[in-house]
Amino acid sequence: MLEVSGITQIFGGVTALEDVSFRVNRGDITGVIGPNGAGKTTLFNIITGIYTQTSGKVVFEDKDISGLPPEKLARLAMVRTFQNIELFGGMTVHENVMVGMHTKSSSGMLSCALKMPWSISEERRIRNDSMKWLEFTGITELAEVEAGNLPFGKGRLLEIARALAVEPRIILMDEPAAGLNSQETLGLAHLIKRIRDLGITVVLVEHDMELVMDICDRIVVLNLGRKLAEGTPREIQENPEVIAAYLGDDD
Amino acid sequence: MQFDQILQYTLSGLSTGAIYALIGIGFSIIYNATGIINFAQGEFVMLGGLLTLSCLDLLKLPIWAAIPCAVAVSTLAGLLFERLAIRPLRQPTPINLVIITIGGSILIRGMAMLIWGKDTHAIPSFSGDDPIAIGGATILPQHLWILAITVVIIVINKFYFYHTISGKAMRACAYNRRAAGLVGIDVRRMVLFSFMISSAMGAVAGIIVAPLTMIAYDVGVMLGLKGFCAAIIGGMSSGIATVVGGLLLGVLESLGAGLISSGYKDAIAFIILLLILFIRPQGLFGKADSERV
């Protein structure tokens, strides 16, 4: 589904990532973990086209997507969410999700501006379809609230709803549980599993070990810019190198 | 007598104000999509008027065909301006872009001077010049055209931004460009659209005002600044706040010119501009960080 091979990223004199390779299977929830500064977010930024890597390749569904900008990736059905949620603050919750369906809209600016009948019916269709994603994430009752006024936890749900509206085949989440309380985290775990059940592949960077071990099918561990280990949650928990990286070595 | 005079000044102020509002909205649309002030906005106003003139005189088109033709050519000019002057910049800072728009405006004005000469030209009114009496005041049919066309354009504009997906996508760019890219919006294309919409609106403003004020290659400077002034009063909103800003400016200018001295007409606009910038830089109606689209 998604294959990262030989990714190296050098910022000035600092090597943030060195020869990182791994593969994400279709329909899995894959977790990327590692101590602070391990290069997790850098890796995400490379996969999703925000940075361009120094060397290496990202292949998504047999297509080399290295260096494609985010909007092209969205059209190829890859989306991401941010650790610090990025919403359209002055627009309503419902409108935020509708904009997510933008790529599915066929009406150009001209026909919209001229109020062509088909662009109006399309607007209506998108208005209805987008409600489905608000229901899926459980924020239907907030539809008319301005996104900038949402509490943080709801904002995160909205960001996920908007990402899903793009109808992705893969969704990358950067620390989805950051800033959530334990109740919200529990709900999030359930939501991520339901996203997988829709057939969408999920990749997440996360610090909340309980969440990662609970929901992930596979885990990739990064440390100091290198891949340390890869495997099922059980294998990772028992891997001595991983334990050393997290808890410190005896010597 | 005094009341009739004030009514007269107010009415003509409203129609000039409508023009300022249209130009001001053009400023705001580009500002919201890109964060830059397009100081070439006034030149599209001039192009609209002069292109209409050419369509009428050279191509012998009737007025109803000349107007869309002139708007189309001006929109094309806006498109070219974005593609050739704005987009090629690799890592633009706002100040680079602002200076480029000033350079662009000088270039466009210079070309217009070569094409149409330095003379002032007249365009016939859309429907005659018989004054219409309203109370003790009179207005020209062209004033009514200006008000009506402005209202129609503002309504279409509102509909586009709030009730179509493409319009919502453009608002989304204004709120958060990064997130807009992430959901698949091609931000650069939206910037291009914003230049096209703004130049079309500027051209319309130039066309409808030309029968009243005459048109020449250099009218864009002053009209552009007045439109900028309207946008500042409205806090760079591309909605009703800028419209009110434009109307307010038009009426104050006209009352000032009529009741104090017509020599101060332009000074009044700039005094208002300075006062707003000193006292309420967020615009007359804005909260500190207001909704801008």
pLDDT in tens, B249-292: 999 999 988 888 888 888 888 888 898 888 888 877 765 444 44
pLDDT, tens digit (0-9, with 9 covering 90-100), for B200-242 = 999 999 999 999 888 999 999 999 999 999 999 988 887 888 9
* Chain A residues in contact with B168 (beta carbon < 8 A): 91, 95, 98-99, 102
More confident residue, B40 or A49: B40
Neighbours of B122 (CB within 10 A): 12
Taking one residue from A and the other from B, the number of pairs with CB-CB distance under 8 angstroms is: 106
Residue in the block written with tokens 């009426």: B251
Q: Which residues of B touch A90 (CB under 8 A)?
A: 171, 175, 291-293
Q: pLDDT tens digits for A120-133?
A: 677 788 888 889 99
Do residues A203 and A92 both lie within one domain? no
Last residue of one domain, picked from the residues A142, A167, A192: A167
**A118 — phi, psi (to 5°)?**
-70, -25
Tokens of B64: 């109803």
Domain boundary among A126, A151, A167: A167
Reported as a pLDDT band with limits 50, 70 and 90, residue B104 is very high
Decide: B47 and B226 in contact? Cβ < 8 Å.
Answer: no
Model confidence at B166, pLDDT cuts 50, 70, 90, reads confident
Task: Provide the pLDDT confidence category of residue A247 given band limits of 50, 70 and 90.
Answer: confident
Min Cα distance A18 → chain B (Å) is 26
Tell me the nearest-neighbour CA distance from B181 into chain A, angstroms.
5
Give the A-side interface with B, CB within 8 Å: 48, 69-71, 74-75, 79-80, 82, 86-91, 95-96, 98-103, 105, 107-109, 112-113, 115, 119-120, 122-123, 126, 162-163, 165-166
Cross-chain CB nearest to B156 (options A90, A113, A126)? A113
The count of other CB atoms within 10 Å of the CB of residue B77 is 23
What local confidence, expressed as pLDDT, does residue A106 receive?
Answer: 52
Q: How far apart are alpha carbons B225 and B19 in whole angstroms?
A: 12
pLDDT, tens only, B22-36: 999 999 998 887 778
- Give the containing element (helix H, strand E) for A242: helix A240-247
Closest residue of B to A73, CA-based? B184
- The partner residue sitting opposite B166, judged by closest CB among A89, A91, A108, is A108
Q: How far is A112 from chain B (nearest CA, A)?
A: 6
Q: What's the pTM?
A: 0.82
Half-sphere exposure of A86 (CA within 13 A, CB side): 21
**A102:B164 CB<8 A:** no
Which residues of B, range 174-193, sit inside 8 Å of A by Cβ? 175-176, 178-187, 193
Q: Are residues A63 and A174 in the same domain?
A: yes
Same domain? For A3 and A14 the reply is yes
Q: Which domain does A133 fall in, by range? A: 86-167
Domain co-membership, A146 together with A183: no
Residues A176 and A62 both lie in one domain: yes
Q: Where are the beta strands (DSSP E) in A26-175?
A: 29-33, 55-60, 63-64, 78-81, 170-174
pLDDT value of position B36: 82
The number of folded domains in chain A is 2
Alpha carbon of B172: minimum distance to chain A alpha carbons (Å): 6
**Would you call A102 and B165 a contact, using CB atoms and an 8 Å cutoff?**
yes
Is residue A7 packed enough to be buried (19+ CB in 10 Å), middle (13-18) or exposed (0-12)? buried
Beta strands in B61-109 (DSSP E): none
Residue of A79, A98, A108 with shortest CB distance to B182 = A79
Test B179 with A165 for CB contact under 8 angstroms: no
Token representation of residue A65: 């997507």
Of A128, A147, A167, the last residue of a domain is A167
**Which residues of chain A make contact with B176, given a CB cutoff of 8 A?**
86-89
pLDDT 10s digits, B121-146: 988 888 888 888 888 888 899 999 99
pLDDT of residue B289: 47
- Give the closest-approach CA distance of A86 to chain B in angstroms: 6
- Asked if B165 lies within 8 A of A112 by C-beta distance, the reply is yes
Residues from chain B contacting residue A69 (CB–CB below 8 Å): 181
Given a contact cutoff of 8 angstroms between Cβ atoms, the answer to whether A77 and A170 are in contact is yes
Q: Are residues A219 and A145 in the same domain?
A: no
* Co-location of A27 and A50 in the same domain: yes
Of all residues in chain A, the one with the smallest CA distance to B160 is: A113
pLDDT in tens, B38-92: 999 999 999 999 999 999 998 888 988 999 999 999 999 999 999 999 888 877 7
Q: Are A71 and B160 a contacting pair at CB < 8 A? A: no
The pLDDT, as a whole number, for residue B291 is 45
For the B2-128+138-279 domain, the top CATH level (class) is mainly alpha
Q: What is the pLDDT at residue A136?
A: 93
Return the DSSP state at B86: I
pLDDT for residue B200: 94
Judgement on whether residues A93 and A28 belong to the same structural domain of the protein: no
Say yes or no to pLDDT of B178 above 90: no
The minimum CA-CA distance between A117 and chain B, rounded to whole Å, is 11
Query: What pLDDT does B161 receive?
Result: 86
Q: Does residue B156 sit at the A interface (CB-CB below 8 Å)?
A: yes
- The whole-number pLDDT of residue A1 equals 85
Same domain? For A34 and A107 the reply is no
pLDDT digits (tens, 9 = 90+) for A65-119: 888 888 888 888 899 898 888 899 889 999 999 988 876 655 455 555 455 556 6
Q: Is B168 on the interface with A (CB under 8 A)?
A: yes
Q: Please check the confidence at residue B163 and state whether its pLDDT lies above 50.
A: yes
| CA dist., res. A15 & res. A230, Å (int) | 21
- Tell me, what's the pLDDT at B74? 95
| Cβ neighbours of residue B51 closer than 8 Å, sequence gap 6 or more | B69, B70, B73, B74, B203
What's the rounded Cα separation, in Å, for the pair B204 and B219?
14
- Cβ within 8 Å, pair A115-B175: no
pLDDT of A246 higher than 80? no
Output the CA angle A147-B26-B246, nearest 5 degrees: 95
**In B, which residues are within 8 Å of A105 by CB distance?**
165-166
What average pLDDT does chain B have?
88
Question: Is the Cβ of B155 closer than 8 Å to some Cβ of chain A?
Answer: no
Q: How far is A128 from chain B (nearest CA, A)?
A: 13
Mutate: best of B71, B166, B291, partner A, most A CBs <10 A = B166
Domain spans in chain B, listed from the N-terminal domain onward: 2-128+138-279
Per-residue pLDDT at A89: 86
Q: How far apart are CA A165 and CA B273, in angstroms?
A: 44
Return the amino acid letter for A16: A
How close, in Å, is residue B240 to chain A by CA atoms?
16
CATH code of the domain in which A91 resides: 3.40.50.300
